Amino acid sequence: MKKNLIILLVISLMVLIPVVSAEPSLSADLLKYEPIPAQPGQYVTAYIELDNIGDTDAQNAMIEVLDEFPFTVVGDGSETIGALKSQRSYVSDFQIKVDSQAVVGNNALKVRFSPDGKNWQERSLDIEVKSNDISLSVVDVSTSPKELVPGGDGVITIKLKNTESVVIRNIGVQLGLVAVSQSSITDLPFIPTSSATEQRIGRLNPNEISEVSFPIKAYPTATPGYYKLPISLSFYDDQGTKTEKQDLIGLVVKSVPELKVYVEKTTVSGASQSGDVTLKFVNKGINDLKFLDVSLLQSDDYEVISGSKEYIGDLDSDDYRSETFTIKPSSKNVDLKVAVTYKDENNNEFSETLTVPFQTNDSLANAKKGPSFSTILLVLLVGFLVVRWFVKKQKAKKHHK
């Protein structure tokens, strides 16, 4: 009896084995993808090979690519192959969009396939995602106020943009306040206020813009002009690779020029008399002046006999130049009208007309020499008469008593 059961079991297994082995067996592999590597935000064509490794034909073979981050199928994501003979293969191609925020490295492309449209298998195929160039760009630099004054406060705002198609993280922005040359390191005339010289941004998505701000103060002795400040940028990609780069930003320091004009000396002796007047042009500001042009304007109060225009050119801070003109004033005291034009160190142009008080020599002499001899004699005589009258009056009072 037992022997008969064993024989029956063996016969059953022998019948069953051909049935099992006769089923089709499919396998999917990524034959290739183009371009290599796939890049975030770009498209890639994936060629997937479906193999029937079974001993029988698949009557209704199907394959489908699943939408799953970071891949999205463009167009029809499935294909019905139909009959796929045993030990044969079929290659399907699919257009796939790579998400702009895809993580750099191998990413899984999910596919599923079936020999009959009913029994499905799923597999993950690796596609490498990598950016050929990760770039962080300075897209704008602004200061508030637009131009700093010596000793003044300001804020530098730097806008940064992730110009590539991958996420970057742990972004460091460091503001340099020294100028480095091949042979020396020079302090720039600025100091940070209320914050450090380094700011951080946690994450920047592709094409995203973020900004950092640096409050600073200019030295009181800062020379007006244009300054280049170095900045250092550092950031990491999704694979932990660190990138560092250097850049420069511009900063303007400006001060209002202060040009004064005085009469240095004159040979004009009096009203309606011609003579020379020497004007002193003094730069009392901290700006060096350039292209200084001066003109003594004609007036009803005086006549300019000599040339009325002179070109001085450069006039450094705390320096002066003298220019001489010949005039004929109509009175002893007149106001000279002096027109000046010049540029500061930032090439801003200035024009103004200054009023300079002028006195002839005789007017100055009269003001300096004081009272005349006749005036003094008259004062003494009046004083003598007053004293004499007072004495006589006192004597008369005593005699009356």
Considering the domain delimited by 136-253, tell me its CATH architecture.
Sandwich (2.60)
Superfamily, domain 25-129:
Immunoglobulins (2.60.40.10)
pLDDT digits (tens, 9 = 90+) for 136-146: 888 999 999 99
Q: What is the pLDDT of residues 230-280, one digit of tens each?
A: 999 999 887 777 888 888 899 999 888 999 999 999 999 999 999 999 999
Please report the pLDDT score of residue 239 as a whole number. 74
Q: Which of 178, 184, 281 is nearest to 232 (CA)?
A: 178
Strand order of the β-sheet with 89-98 is 26-34, 43-52, 89-98, 71-74
User: What amino acid is encoded at 259 in this protein?
Assistant: L
Whether residue 364 is predicted with pLDDT greater than 90 in this model: the reply is no
For residue 350, give both structure tokens.
């200035």
C-alpha distances (whole Å) from 233 to each of 47, 180, 198, 209 are 40, 17, 10, 15
Give residue 350's pLDDT. 95
Compute φ and ψ for 289, nearest 5 degrees.
-100, 150
CB-based contact 75:95 (threshold 8 Å): yes
In the DSSP assignment, the letter for residue 385 is H
Percent of the chain with pLDDT over 90: 61
pLDDT at 372: 56
Average pLDDT for 8-26: 59
Structure tokens at 57: 């034909």
* Lookup: tokens for 168: 């970057």
Q: Which residues pair with 227 in a beta bridge?
A: 251
Alpha-carbon 112 to chain mean position: 52
| pLDDT reported for residue 365 | 54
The residues of the chain that CATH labels 2.60.40.10 are 25-129, 136-253, 259-368
Give me the amino acid identity at 56: T
Tokens representing residue 327 in the block: 């005039």
In the predicted model, what is the mean pLDDT of residues 107-136? Answer: 89
**Contacts (Cβ under 8 Å, ≥6 apart) of 379:** none
Give the other-Cβ count within 10 Å of 212's Cβ: 20
Give the start-end residues of each E strand in 99-224.
105-114, 121-129, 136-144, 153-162, 168-175, 178-180, 185-187, 190-192, 198-204, 209-218
Question: 178-202: per-residue pLDDT in tens?
Answer: 887 666 778 899 999 977 889 999 9
DSSP 8-state assignment for residue 35? S
CATH superfamily of 259-368: Immunoglobulins (2.60.40.10)
